[in-house]
Amino acid sequence: MRPDTPADHLAEAERLLRTATQYPEDQEPLLLQAAAHLELSGDRPRATTLYDRLLSSSSKVDHPHLVKAFKAANLWEYGHEAEARAIIEGIRAAAPLDPAAWGIVAETLEAHDELDLAHASLTTGLTLLGVAEAAVDPAGIPYSTQSLLTTRHRVRRLLALPHDTWDTLADELHTAPISLDELHDPKRLWSLGSEDPAELQAELARLRAELGNYRLALSRPFPVAVLHWPERELDELLAAYPELQSEYPTHAAHLLDIEASLRELAAAGTPNLGIVTATVPSYEAFAASESSSPANADLLPQYATTLAARARATSWPPSRGADCWCGSGVNYGDCHGKG
């Protein structure tokens, strides 16, 4: 269940901070998530201290420009506009090859009505990332880069600019039933003043679709992850904790359930899906950290979420021609990717 209240977000932040202490090698993704929950709890100054902690760490930060972008967005929200602008200008000057950093920069600028600068940032980012304005294969564009195209489409609609090639590409990549042009229409909120029930119902449908996109964005850059037990690990798990047999009747059934769950999520429009590989020692350590028994099936989704937060997920589906995620060594299309 996602946290809903400030107290829930604060409690989740504290849990992530404890996990970061246990796994210092994974502190970057864990502290970023903790900072996000602190922001949602209303404690923005404390979130800033976590961003500073990462940026001043003696350990290598894998995504320094993303951390800086999050820091800038947070600072601007609680009155430190000048400092936020300076950080954003530094990121733009550094020209990073990190789509997530460009996305946060652009969304921060858009949120504060800096539409021209947001548009310029998105265009620069996409150019640096090698998205040509013509003859682009949509299947080869990573999800994080697709997000930049969608954001740029929205900003261009707000600026009343005509469609260009990248806008057309964003339309092709969009899978929701309501088109981007409709979602990004600056005038559509006027319909909320209508007394026509049909118009109000249509606007509610649009808002639900947009809200769904925002909810999905909360997990970025971390995937929605499903837990995978290799056969040896599952045998060891069930031997030690037979209470979990109802969760995993057989290893083959477990693998089929993973693929079915991921396909169901994908069909519902959930992007950024991933698989995390479980081990018994890791799961037992996680259970101990939660002061619970590994036989408690309620821990399994929490364990999967924690592994994903530690950047342990691999993306699903595998890229074209890659081996199946199950470890069979067979091409995914000839294994669990059939049908």
- For the chain, give every domain's residue range: 63-217, 224-334
Please identify which residue in the block is written with the tokens 């800086």.
68
Q: Is the dihedral of CA 69, 224, 56, 13 positive or negative?
A: positive
Euclidean distance between CA atoms 244 and 237, whole angstroms? 8
Per-residue confidence band for 217, with pLDDT thresholds at 50, 70 and 90:
very low
pLDDT of residue 220 exceeding 50: no
Residue 235, burial from CB neighbour count under 10 angstroms (0-12, 13-18, 19+) = middle
- Helical residues (DSSP H) of the chain, grouped into ranges: 6-22, 27-41, 44-55, 64-77, 81-94, 99-111, 115-128, 143-158, 165-173, 180-183, 197-217, 231-240, 251-267, 280-289, 299-309
Q: Quick one: pLDDT at residue 214? A: 47
Pick the range with the lowest mean pLDDT from 12-21, 165-174, 192-201, 321-330.
192-201
Q: Quick one: pLDDT at residue 319? A: 77
Q: Within 13 A of 154's CA, how many CA atoms are on the CB side?
A: 18
- Coil/strand/helix, residue 220: coil
Per-residue buried b or exposed e for 102-127, using 16+ beta carbons within 10 Å of the residue's own CB = bbbbbbbbbebebbebbbebbbebbe
Of the spans 154-158, 198-202, 266-270, which averages the highest pLDDT?
154-158
Euclidean distance between CA atoms 153 and 138, whole angstroms? 15
The strand pair at 273-277 and 313-315 is best described as: antiparallel
What is the value of pTM for the model shown?
A: 0.68
Q: Quick one: pLDDT at residue 191? A: 55
pLDDT of residue 158 exceeding 50: yes
Euclidean distance between CA atoms 69 and 299, whole angstroms? 33
The kind and range of the H/E element at 314 are strand 313-315
Which of 1.10.3210, 1.10.260, 1.10.10, 1.25.40 would CATH assign to domain 63-217? 1.25.40
Pick the range with the lowest mean pLDDT from 123-127, 226-230, 268-272.
268-272
Pick the range with the lowest mean pLDDT from 5-19, 169-183, 202-216, 223-237.
202-216
Q: Within 13 A of 17's CA, how many CA atoms are on the CB side?
A: 17
Higher pLDDT, 63 or 190: 63
Q: Convert the pLDDT of each residue in 256-266 to its tens digit.
A: 999 999 998 88
Average pLDDT, whole number, for the chain? Answer: 86
Give the DSSP letter of residue 332: G
Higher pLDDT, 6 or 51: 51
Q: Quick one: pLDDT at residue 207? A: 61
Per-residue confidence band for 309, with pLDDT thresholds at 50, 70 and 90:
confident
Q: What is the mean pLDDT of residues 204-231?
A: 64
pLDDT of residue 120 exceeding 80: yes
Q: Within 13 A of 95's CA, how many CA atoms are on the CB side?
A: 7
Q: Quick one: pLDDT at residue 269? A: 75
Euclidean distance between CA atoms 205 and 186, whole angstroms? 16
pLDDT of residue 327 exceeding 60: yes
Contacts (Cβ under 8 Å, ≥6 apart) of 238: 244, 245, 248
Higher pLDDT, 27 or 139: 27
Per-residue confidence band for 180, with pLDDT thresholds at 50, 70 and 90:
confident
pLDDT of residue 213 exceeding 70: no
Q: What is the mean pLDDT of residues 174-180?
A: 80
Per-residue confidence band for 130, with pLDDT thresholds at 50, 70 and 90:
confident
Give the DSSP letter of residue 43: -
